[in-house]
Structure 1
Amino acid sequence: MKLHHDYDLSHANTMALTCTAHTAIELFDTADITPAITYAKLNSLPLLVLSGGSNVILPNKLKACVLLPRFNGIHTISKSDTHVLISAKAGENWHEFVQTCLDNGWYGLENLALIPGLVGACPVQNIGAYGVQVSDFIEKVIAYDLTTGTQCEFKNAKCQFTYRHSLFKDNPNRYLISEVIFKLHTSSDHVQSNYGDLAALSLKLAHQDNRKTIHPKDVFNAVIAIRQSKLPDPKVLANCGSFFQNPIISMAQFTSLKTQHASLPSYLIDDNNVKIPAGWLIDMAGLKGGGIFPILTHRLQALVLTNHTPHIATANDIQKSQDFIIDTVHDKFGVQLVREPVWIDEQGYHA
C-alpha cells in the first residue's frame, strides 16, 4: 500500500471539485486492507472508500482516511453452453471491462458501455442505462467489512438491488468491494435494444454489415454513439454523469401530467407506477444549459450537471445549482427530483 497525507483529490473525482483529504491510502492488494484499517483506527480517522470518483460530490476538506482500491484482474471462473462466470477486480475500468467482455464473446453488459468509473463502484449504485441494470448480471459481490476487517460474499439477492440502489449504498463506509462476479451470456441472441433511440441505431449498424439480426456489438457501438452525441466527456468538461434519478410516479399523477403535457415520455413500471425522464422535466422547465454558474446543466443533455470552473468549484456550488433545479422543476410539474450522486461530508460520511 502507499500512504499519502494532505492528498489532492480534485483530479480523483470526475466533477473536478476541489478537495484535500487528510490521508489517502492506495491499496494494491487485498492484503493491504487490514493494515489500512488499523492505521485509520490508530489515528482516529473515519474511513471512506473512493473508487473512480464518478458518482460522488466531495467536500472542500476531507477529515478522513480515504481508501483508493487499485486491485486489477479479469478471469473466467466457469463456462457452460449458455453462460460464463467472470471475475473482475474492483480497480478495473468499467468501460474497458465491458469492451473486454464483448471481445471474448461474453454478452449482456453492452448497454452499459461508456459509463465512467470502476468495476468496484458498479454494484453500489446499481448502475443502469438503456433498459439494463448491472444487477441483471451480477452473480456475487466480494467485499471487506471495514468494521471487522473480514471478507464477505454477497449473492445477488443479498445485495438488495433496486433502482439505483443496493445494500452497499445503504451501508456507506462499511464495505470495500474488492471483486464482482458476473454471469454473462455466451450467445449473441440475447440483445436488449428496444429502449429509445437505441433500437433504430442498432438496426442501422447491423444493416451496414448486411445483417438482419442485431448483434451485441451493434448495441455497444450504438450506445457509445448516442452517449457521445449527448453526454460530455468528463476529461473535457467536468461532470459526474446523470445527476438526477428518473422519477417514478403514480399512474394517477402521470395521467394528470400527460393531460397537461402531451409530449411527456414514459416507461411503464407496473400497473400503478410510471417512470418519467428527469432530463425531459429539466429541459421543459427551461433549464437546459441553465443553473447557477459555475454549475450548469449540459446544453445537449439537461440531466447532466457540468462544472465550468474545474478544481476551483466546491460542493457548495453544486448545492446551489441542484436546489435551484429541484425547486424549479417541482414548481412547474409537482415532481420531486432526487439526486443520484453520493454526497460526502467533511468526516467522510454520506450526508
Structure 2
Amino acid sequence: MVQPFDTLVDSNVDLQPYNTLHISAVAQHFAAIKTPSHLKEVLNHPRAKENNLLVLGGGSNMLFTGDFNGLVLHIEIEGREVVKETQDNIWLKVGAGENWHQTVRYCVEQGWGGIENLSLIPGTVGAAPIQNIGAYGVELEEVFEELEAVNLVSGEKQRFNKADCQFGYRDSIFKNELKGQVIVTEVVLKLSKKPELNTSYGAIQTELEKREISKPTIKDISDIVIDIRNSKLPDPKEIGNAGSFFKNPIVDRSIFDQIKENYPQAPGYDMGNDKIKVPAGWLIEEAGWKGKAVGNTGTYRQQALVIVNHGGATGQEILALAKMIQASVAKEFKIDLVPEVNIIS
C-alpha cells in the first residue's frame, strides 16, 4: 500500500529559513530527508514523479526569484565514519546533510589534513562536490575519493569516483549533463595524517608572518582562513548573502593585457595555456559597485563580490542588481561575469 503523499511531505512551506540570502519564497511541497531510504520512499511515490524537484542543502548557493511550484527535498542526512585507514591516510565517509565547516573543524581536531584551507565555506557536504568548492589555493577535488547518489529517474543508488565527477573550476558533471538528475547522499574524503600545508595564498603568508608562526599546523591554517573570511564576508545569520555571487572569470592573456594597459595594478593569476584568472571582486569594485546599496539590496562594503539582502529584498531585486553589475563589468572590461549562485526561477 502506497503511503499518502501528505504524510511524506509538508505543503506551502516558506523557504526563507532554508536559504542564506533570506529570500521569502513558498515551496508547494517540502520534505526533510533524514536517510537515503526516506529519500527513496519519497522519490518512488507517484505524486513525487508529477512534481518539479529541487534539492536543497544549506541553501548557501541559491537565489529564489519566486515561489517554487514543485517539491523541495531538503537533505538532512547526517553521520561521519572512517571507512579506511592506512599509515598515511584516512578515508572519511560523511552524510550529505552535514555542515561543511563543522566537518572541516572536526577533521582539523583529529589532525587530518587536506581541507583546512576550505574552512568557513557555507553549505553542506553534499553540495561541496557539485560546486567543486575551493578557496585559498585548495579545491575539493584534491581530497575527493567518491560519492554515493540516488538517481532521480530510476531511484537507484549510483557511485561516482573522481573521474566520473568531471571536476572543473567551480564545476562538475552535476552542474552539466547530470544537472537535476542525481541527489548526493554521502561523500568520501581522502585526508592525510601527515599533511602538507598549502600556504601559497598571499593572505595566509601575510597572517603567518604577522603572527610569527614559522611552523604552522593545520589548525593554524584553519584559524587564519576563518579570520580572513570573517574580515571579508558577512555572517549570513546577520545579513543575508550567498557568499561570492559570481565566479572569478578566466580570460585569454590578450584580454588581460588590454586591461593592464588601463589598470596597471590589475591582479591576475596565471592558469596556464595563456589563461588568466581575474578576481571578480576587483572587477566589480573598479566598476564602482563596492558597498553600493540599491533598494533593499546591494554589495557588501568590504567585498564587492558579495551581494547582500539588507532586509526584505525579493529574489527579483537581487537578480536585477546582479544584471546591472554584469552590464557594468562587461562595458568596462569586456568580460562577462557568470553567477556562481544557482538562480531558481
User: Same-fold call, TM > 0.5?
Assistant: yes
CA drift at 1:3: 2.0
Deviations 1:326-351 (A, max 9, x none): 11111111111111001112xxxxxx
Match of 1:139, SS state, is strand
Which residue does the alignment assign to 1:67? 73
Stretches of structure 1 lacking an aligned partner (at least 5 in a row)? 346-351
Match of 1:33, SS state, is helix
| C-alpha distance 35-274 of structure 1, shift in aligned 2 (>3 A) | same
Name the CA distance, whole Å, in 1 between partners of 2:197 and 2:163. Answer: 24
Q: Provide the aligned length of Structure 1 versus Structure 2.
A: 338
Deviations 1:220-264 (A, max 9, x none): 011011111110000000000000110101011111211221111
Which residue does the alignment assign to 1:348? none
Amino acid corresponding to residue 319 of structure 1 in structure 2: L
Q: TM-score, normalised to structure 2's length?
A: 0.95
Match of 2:304, SS state, is coil
Picking from 223, 243, 246, the partner of 2:245 is 243
Name the CA distance, whole Å, in 2 between partners of 1:133 and 1:254. Answer: 24
Name the CA distance, whole Å, in 2 between partners of 1:24 and 1:106. Answer: 36
Name the CA distance, whole Å, in 2 between partners of 1:234 and 1:22. Answer: 25
Which residue does the alignment assign to 1:339? 339
Amino acid corresponding to residue 185 of structure 2 in structure 1: S
CA drift at 1:60: 2.3
Name the CA distance, whole Å, in 2 between partners of 1:333 and 1:321. Answer: 18
| C-alpha distance 89-259 of structure 1, shift in aligned 2 (>3 A) | same
Which residue does the alignment assign to 1:281? 283
* Bigger Cα displacement from structure 2, 42-51 vs 268-277: 42-51
Identity of counterpart residues, as a percentage?
A: 36
| 1:233 and 2:239 aligned | no
Name the CA distance, whole Å, in 2 between partners of 1:40 and 1:231. Answer: 43
Amino acid corresponding to residue 181 of structure 2 in structure 1: R
Name the CA distance, whole Å, in 2 between partners of 1:40 and 1:297. Answer: 43
Picking from 10, 19, 44, the partner of 1:13 is 19
CA drift at 1:151: 0.2
Contact map agreement 2:90 2:193 (CA 8 A) in 1:
yes
Equivalent positions of 1:19-30 (< 5 A) are: 19-30=25-36
Match of 2:10, SS state, is strand
CA drift at 1:271: 3.6
Amino acid corresponding to residue 80 of structure 1 in structure 2: T
Contact map agreement 1:75 1:88 (CA 8 A) in 2:
yes
Equivalent positions of 1:125-204 (< 5 A) are: 125-170=131-176, 171-188=178-195, 190-204=196-210
CA drift at 1:203: 4.1
Supply the RMSD in Å over aligned alpha carbons.
1.4
Name the CA distance, whole Å, in 2 between partners of 1:199 and 1:147. Answer: 48
Match of 1:325, SS state, is helix
Which residue does the alignment assign to 2:306? 304
CA drift at 1:43: 6.7
Which residue does the alignment assign to 2:92? 86
Deviations 1:161-212 (A, max 9, x none): 0001111111222111000000111113x1111113111213444x3xxx52
Match of 1:306, SS state, is strand
Contact map agreement 1:292 1:320 (CA 8 A) in 2:
no
| C-alpha distance 153-331 of structure 1, shift in aligned 2 (>3 A) | same
Amino acid corresponding to residue 39 of structure 1 in structure 2: H
Name the CA distance, whole Å, in 1 between partners of 2:64 and 2:121. Answer: 20
Name the CA distance, whole Å, in 2 between partners of 1:59 and 1:37. Answer: 25
Name the CA distance, whole Å, in 2 between partners of 1:178 and 1:155. Answer: 14
Which residue does the alignment assign to 2:317? 317
Name the CA distance, whole Å, in 2 between partners of 1:151 and 1:24. Answer: 22
Match of 1:254, SS state, is helix
Stretches of structure 2 lacking an aligned partner (at least 5 in a row)? 1-6
Name the CA distance, whole Å, in 1 between partners of 2:243 and 2:165. Answer: 23
Match of 2:127, SS state, is helix
CA drift at 1:293: 2.2
Amino acid corresponding to residue 95 of structure 2 in structure 1: K
CA drift at 1:132: 0.9
| C-alpha distance 3-219 of structure 1, shift in aligned 2 (>3 A) | same
Name the CA distance, whole Å, in 1 between partners of 2:20 and 2:293. Answer: 19
Match of 2:44, SS state, is helix
Amino acid corresponding to residue 245 of structure 1 in structure 2: K
Which residue does the alignment assign to 2:3? none
Which residue does the alignment assign to 1:329? 329
Which residue does the alignment assign to 1:48? 54
CA drift at 1:41: 3.8
Name the CA distance, whole Å, in 2 between partners of 1:204 and 1:20. Answer: 48
